[in-house]
Amino acid sequence: MAKNGRMTRSQRQFLKYTAMNSAELAEATREFDREFVADTFSPLTPELAERRRRAKRKRGRPMMGKGARVISVSVEKGLLARSDALARKLKVRRAALIARGLRAVLAEAGKK
């Protein structure tokens, strides 16, 4: 079941078919008994093509800039604790705080 306690669409569909007797199930799936049934399909409509594209896309955080790369950096424990405290105070993630600091340093270096 879904988190809200309701059944998902696929669960309802599964129950629909499991509740059928043999004759009802045979009738409901008759269209798939023919060979090469895929040859009768037509190209996707623009709406369905968009739905398929959205379903196949990779999930995750929205891309910002040119994307992100995970790196490993050693930071002194005290500095890390102070930066984590500031990130909590500003209500941003640690990575966002570090990115903000890097931008500030790069901007300052560009002025020289």
The domain limits of the chain are: 9-56, 77-111
pLDDT of 17 reads: 84
Residue 1: both structure tokens together = 């079941």
pLDDT of residue 32: 79
- The pLDDT score that the predictor gives to residue 112 is 64
What does each C-alpha distance from 31 to 26, 38, 73, 74, 91 come to in angstroms? 9, 11, 59, 61, 56
Rounded to whole angstroms, how far apart are CA atoms 86 and 100?
12
HEC string for the chain: CCCCCCCCHHHHHHHHHHCCCHHHHHHHCHHHCCCCHHHHCCCCCHHHHHHHHHHHCCCCCCCCCCCCCCCCCCCCHHHHHHHHHHHHHHCCCHHHHHHHHHHHHHHHHHHC
What residues of the chain score a pLDDT lower than 70? Answer: 1-3, 112
What per-residue confidence (pLDDT) applies to 81?
97
- Per-residue pLDDT of 27-59, as tens digits, reads 988 877 878 877 778 888 999 999 999 889 877
pLDDT of residue 1: 61
